[in-house]
Amino acid sequence: THKGNNNTTDKLQTNETGTVQTGQTQKGNNNTTDKLQTNETGTVQTGQTQKGNNNTTDKLQTNETGTVQTGQTQKGNNNTTDKLQTNETGTVQMGQTQKGNNNKSDKQQTNL
């Protein structure tokens, strides 16, 4: 689901050997998503939400060999997320919330 103006999605929900990817929502203007929910060998990724203007997400919820990643929320303006919830060999990462303006997260909740 894309709502607003100038939304850009590159390779939305690319799945190599995984099973299910659901529930992407972008609201607002100038949202950019690069390889949202790319799943290499994992299983399920659900519940991404971006609200506000000028949100940038690079490789949101990239899962290499993990299982489940759920519940990402960004609210406000100019949120930047770089590799939010990157899971190498872990299992579950959930419940990230960003509220306000100019929030930046670099590798939030990285599980090795």
The pLDDT, as a whole number, for residue 111 is 46
* pLDDT tens digits, one per residue of 56-70: 665 555 555 555 556
Residue spans per domain, the chain: 2-81
* pLDDT bucket at 100, cuts 50 / 70 / 90: low
- The answer to whether 50 touches 57, Cβ cutoff 8 Å, is yes
* pLDDT bucket at 54, cuts 50 / 70 / 90: confident
Which pTM does this prediction carry? 0.29
